[in-house]
Amino acid sequence: MIKVLKSGFYTTIQDKGRVGFASLGVPVSGVMDSYASDMANSVLNNSLEAAVVEIYSGSCEFQFLCATFICVSGGDFSLKLNKQAIGLNKKISVSKNDILSFGKANYGARCYLAVAGGIQSEVKLNSRSFYKGITQDIFLQRGMEIAISEVTKSQLVSNASIKVNALHFSSQTIKCYKGPEFEQLHAAQQKELFEKFFSISKDINRMGYRLNETIPNTLTSILTSAVLPGTVQLTPSGKLIILMRDCPVTGGYPRVLQLPEEAINCIAQKATSSQFQFVLEDL
């Protein structure tokens, strides 16, 4: 078990999400940055589907009620084990009663705590990912105890560490494809989409990231149709919304761009007012 001593803000348990339930209106959910969670799970030899703790705001603290191995990947939140600074992307041995704490973010917007064998919280519709109305908990709260698996001897091997691509956090270019309604934009609107620098607004959550800038919008709504994580919608006000992992399965705003997995991961590490440009790739 891991005990939550301080919960931080919107700390959740996530895996790769719920697949196969779109026809019931169930969002995919899952880790916002799969690049980072994959890294944490890989270092521990876990399945990439193993559930992790997604830490968004820092200022959280956990106590281990048993010995295990952990790895933290993603943003740098001044990680400490028993008040001693420790590194990211490393397999770290923790003992019973050790305290792991996350402080302020030095870079990145979220990080992942993986434990050997993965977090063992309740499975609903084939996934442990927290989502309101589906899992009992929607975020971690102080005093909660998180189930983890027992560590087997075979996992007690030496430390592994992986190099991170620094561009994952700093890149100002976001790869995208044309969305289904892209061709309905005028040439001038299309040009503006790729010439302008966009910045992330304060209005961001696991469902979507609203951008500050506007582009002239002459498109009308579409008949409600599928949207996916990474779909960029053009709202009537001319502002763009990048849909993220908890987005609904359908929407009615024109879908002008579609981000690939790696671009969604990059956006997930950007904070309010970060700037970037969309760069069009051919499919």
Residues near another protein (CB under 8 A): 19-27, 124-125, 132-134, 177, 179-180, 222-226, 228, 230-231, 248-250, 255, 258-261, 283
Question: Between residues 133 and 143, which has the closer beta carbon with respect to another protein?
Answer: 133
Q: Cα(59)–Cα(78) distance, rounded to whole angstroms?
A: 10
Euclidean distance between the first and final Cα of the chain, in Å? 45
- Least distance to another protein, CB of residue 142, Å: 24
- Least distance to another protein, CB of residue 226, Å: 4
Q: Cα(157)–Cα(108) distance, rounded to whole angstroms?
A: 29
Which residue shows structure tokens 């981000």? 259
Q: Cα(127)–Cα(39) distance, rounded to whole angstroms?
A: 20
Q: Cα(112)–Cα(39) distance, rounded to whole angstroms?
A: 9
148-162 residues labelled b (16+ CB within 10 A) or e (exposed): bbebeeebeeeeeee
Question: Between residues 91 and 178, which has the closer beta carbon with respect to another protein?
Answer: 178
- Least distance to another protein, CB of residue 207, Å: 11
Question: Between residues 103 and 260, which has the closer beta carbon with respect to another protein?
Answer: 260
Strand runs (DSSP E) across 67-143, as ranges?
Answer: 68-76, 80-81, 84-85, 92-94, 99-102, 107-115
Q: Cα(60)–Cα(8) distance, rounded to whole angstroms?
A: 5
Question: Between residues 70 and 257, which has the closer beta carbon with respect to another protein?
Answer: 257
Q: Cα(112)–Cα(145) distance, rounded to whole angstroms?
A: 17
- Least distance to another protein, CB of residue 55, Å: 26
- Least distance to another protein, CB of residue 222, Å: 7
β-pairing, 173-178 vs 2-7, is unpaired
- Least distance to another protein, CB of residue 126, Å: 12
Question: Between residues 159 and 250, which has the closer beta carbon with respect to another protein?
Answer: 250
Smallest CA-to-CA distance from 207 within 132, 273, 280 is with 132
Q: Tokens standing for 81? A: 């084990």
Which residue shows structure tokens 């992986």? 162
Question: Between residues 77 and 278, which has the closer beta carbon with respect to another protein?
Answer: 278
- Least distance to another protein, CB of residue 182, Å: 10
Question: Between residues 82 and 250, which has the closer beta carbon with respect to another protein?
Answer: 250
Q: Cα(52)–Cα(32) distance, rounded to whole angstroms?
A: 11
